[in-house]
Each structure stands twice: as C-alpha cells, then as structure tokens.
C-alpha cells in the first residue's frame, strides 16, 4: 500500500494508537516513510483512502519499551520535537521491537543527513544498559511467560504479588542470562535502578548486611516485588474470566486481524492469539484496557479454508481481501481478513 509511488514505504501494519483529546485507543493502519509516520482508519473492513494523521520524524525521541502505561505492556512512545507524545501499541513484543528498530533507523538517517551529533560511546553504553534492563523487566511482566507472583507470609505479615530468588533461576531458564552469576548481576541492576524493591523487614535487613547486592538476590529467604510505579499494570493480573486450561497453552502466533461480527456483520480489528497444547484461538479487543479475551474457541475439529477475495456472497461489507474462514466443531463460522496475502497464508499454516 504505497502512499505515493515516489515515496518508499519502510514498514506498514496495524498499531493501536491513543487519542490526543479523548484518551481512548483505536486501531489504525500505520505507514512508515523515511521522514514521517502516516496513519489511516479502517472502515468496514477496508483502509480509508484519506490519511487520518501524520507524525513528522525529524528530531523525534522514541522510548521502547514504554512501561508506564497500565494494561498496555506492548506500547512504545514517540515524542515529537515540539513535545507532543504519541503512544502506540503493537500486537507482540517482536512486532513492537521491529517497529521501534525501523523508526529508530529512520530517525538516525534524518539526524545524519542534518549533520546531527552522534551519540557518544559513554551515552551509547548507558543507553544499551538501560534498554537491556527495560527489556528484561518487560519479559518479567509478560502475562503468559513472565515471572510468577505469589503471596508470602513473613513474621505474621502477608505480602502479595512477591517473588523470591526464583527470579535468578527464571532469568537463566528464559535464556536472558547465560549463568547464575550473570543473572544475579542483572537482577541486582534492576534493584539498584529502582525497577524492583525489597519486601518485608527481613529482606531490608538482608540487603543492608549483604556485602554485595548480588548475594542478596540469590538469598532464598529474600522477597522483592516490582516497584510501586509498575504494580498496577494489567499484564500482571491473571485472566480469570476464562478457563485457566484454555489460556495455559504455549503462544504460537499473535497478530492483528479483521474479524466480521456474527450479528451486525461489521468488521473490527482484533488481536488474535493462537495457543497450542491445548489448541485454542482467542481474540481480544485492542481498544479496551481489559486483558481478557472477548472470545475464543477450541481448534479441535475445526475446518479452515482460504477464500477468494472476490465473489464471496456470504461475506458482507467492504472487503479489503486476504480472506479466510474457520468453521468450528459446533458449526460457527468465523470470517477473518489478514492485512496481506502472506500473513493470511502464515495464519492458515499456523
């Protein structure tokens, strides 16, 4: 989808954007060019030809991941040179990081063209360290594979949403650290920078008496939690509305797709998450802060087929194309559109 035949498109796809005046979240189709980020509305299953807005990239600052938004664990922030903040959310951590990398590359090219001062080695090292810590913290928050929080009783007091030195084992298990020593250093850095905090009197005393904070991080009696500024983030909540078994499978694929409603037959952007063992497909409303799925079904006994983009009488609305259909075991028909032909085939294969 070229915005102009003469302007190269570096990347395009769905992102969820927060409004400036009314702070609600809306799915928009974004197109990244060398000097601006354009966005369009999807209406009735087809991309609007009229551009809804644009973000001029020159002198912008990007923050990725942006961890301060409650219930938006996959958001990043783009701040213009005039101080206007744009908050955008991707469908997955990988997708978010790819968008951020492509935007950063465009920003660096603009800066180089403008004769901007390159980042010093010291600043670059500090930036990389901060980025690593944020990405580790982001992984710890993950609702599906993050570190498990639990309640702990210490000296008659109950502390909720805590974890123990299991974080060191978790960092090694998730291959975020190669050795236990490296994991202790990383966990210690998160503590020293205020991303984590000690919990309970025993932990406070243990940290005070430990010659190195790394020793404290590997103390099996020590407790710690996420800092107060992150405690309310929705990604730490459990999804209680659906069966825990349904949501216990490994996430195989996730992405934004257009789904047709069963009653009104209108098309809406939904975040689809495919899980295996057990095999389920759930979909979420990306405009809502609720992290629970709005629907889903078991894939056992389902039929999936690709549909021709034209001449499908059973599908109403303004069709962009790249259609496929899933028929469940109970004979419920789901009509879905992917943004591209390749994504349609990838979803069908998955």
The stretch 187-201 carries a mean pLDDT of: 75
CA 146 to chain centre: 13
Residue 67 makes CB contacts below 8 A (sequence gap 6+) with: 73, 134, 137, 138, 141, 230, 233
**Fold adopted by 11-113:** PH-domain like (2.30.29)
**pLDDT band of 77, cuts 50, 70, 90:** very high
Residue 225: C-alpha distances to residues 73, 161, 317 (Å): 17, 7, 49
Q: Which backbone phi and psi does 130 adopt, to 5 degrees?
A: -60, -40
For 267-319, what is each residue's pLDDT tens digit? Answer: 889 999 999 888 999 998 888 876 788 888 999 999 998 887 554 545 555 56
Question: For the chain, first and last CA: distance in Å?
Answer: 25
Q: Is the pLDDT of residue 14 over 70?
A: yes
Query: Is residue 206 a contact partner of residue 222, using CB atoms and an 8 Å limit?
Result: yes
| pLDDT band, residue 202 (cuts 50/70/90) | low
* Pairwise CA distance, residues 107 & 132, whole Å: 20
Residue intervals of the chain classified under CATH 1.10.10.10 are 134-229
Res. 327: pLDDT tops 90: yes
**CATH match for 134-229 among 1.10.10.10, 3.60.15.10, 3.30.300.180, 1.20.1250.20:** 1.10.10.10
Of the two residues 131 and 60, the one the predictor is more confident about is: 60
- Predicted pLDDT at 105: 92
- Domain boundaries for CATH 2.30.29.30 within the chain: 11-113, 242-349
Architecture of domain 242-349: Roll (2.30)
Indicate the pTM of the whole model.
0.65
Task: Report pLDDT for 112.
Answer: 83
Measured distance CA(78)–CA(56) in Å, rounded: 10
Q: Single out the residue of 29, 86, 89 nearest to residue 60, CA to CA.
A: 86
| Listed ranges 194-198, 284-288, 318-322; the one with the highest mean pLDDT | 284-288
Give the residue carrying structure tokens 């990081």: 97
What residues contact residue 10 under an 8 Å CB cut-off, 6+ apart?
32, 33, 34, 102, 105, 106
- Residue 225 has what DSSP assignment? E
Are 290 and 235 within 8 A, CB to CB? no
């Amino acid at each position: 989808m070229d915005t102009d035949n003469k302007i190269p498109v570096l990347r395009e796809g769905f992102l969820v954007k927060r409004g400036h005046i009314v702070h609600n979240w809306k799915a928009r189709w974004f197109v990244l060019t060398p000097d601006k980020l354009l966005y369009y509305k999807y209406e009735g299953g087809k991309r609007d030809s009229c551009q809804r807005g644009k973000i001029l990239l020159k002198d912008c600052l990007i923050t990725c991941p942006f961890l301060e938004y409650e219930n938006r664990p996959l958001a990043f922030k783009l701040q213009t040179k005039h101080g206007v903040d744009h908050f955008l959310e991707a469908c997955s951590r990988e997708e978010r990081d790819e968008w951020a990398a492509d935007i950063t590359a465009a920003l660096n090219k603009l800066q180089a063209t403008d004769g901007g001062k390159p980042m010093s080695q010291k600043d670059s090292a500090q930036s990389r360290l901060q980025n690593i810590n944020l990405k580790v913290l982001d992984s710890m928050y993950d609702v599906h594979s993050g570190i498990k929080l639990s309640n702990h009783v210490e000296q008659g007091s109950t502390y909720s949403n805590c974890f123990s030195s299991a974080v060191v084992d978790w960092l090694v298990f998730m291959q975020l650290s190669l050795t236990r020593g490296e994991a202790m250093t990383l966990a210690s850095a998160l503590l020293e920078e205020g991303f984590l905090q000690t919990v309970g009197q025993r932990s406070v005393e243990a940290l005070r008496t430990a010659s190195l904070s790394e020793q404290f991080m590997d103390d099996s009696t020590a407790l710690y939690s996420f800092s107060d500024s992150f405690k309310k983030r929705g990604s730490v909540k459990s999804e209680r509305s659906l069966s825990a078994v349904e949501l216990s499978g490994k996430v195989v694929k996730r992405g934004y797709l257009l789904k047709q409603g069963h009653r009104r037959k209108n098309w809406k952007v939904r975040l689809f998450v495919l899980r295996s063992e057990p095999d389920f497909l759930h979909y979420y409303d990306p405009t809502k802060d609720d992290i629970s799925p709005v629907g889903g079904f078991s894939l056992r006994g389902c039929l999936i087929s690709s549909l021709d983009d034209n001449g499908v009488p059973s599908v109403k609305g303004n069709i962009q194309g790249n259609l496929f259909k899933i028929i469940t075991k109970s004979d419920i028909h789901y009509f879905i559109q992917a943004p591209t032909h390749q994504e349609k085939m990838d979803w069908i294969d998955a």
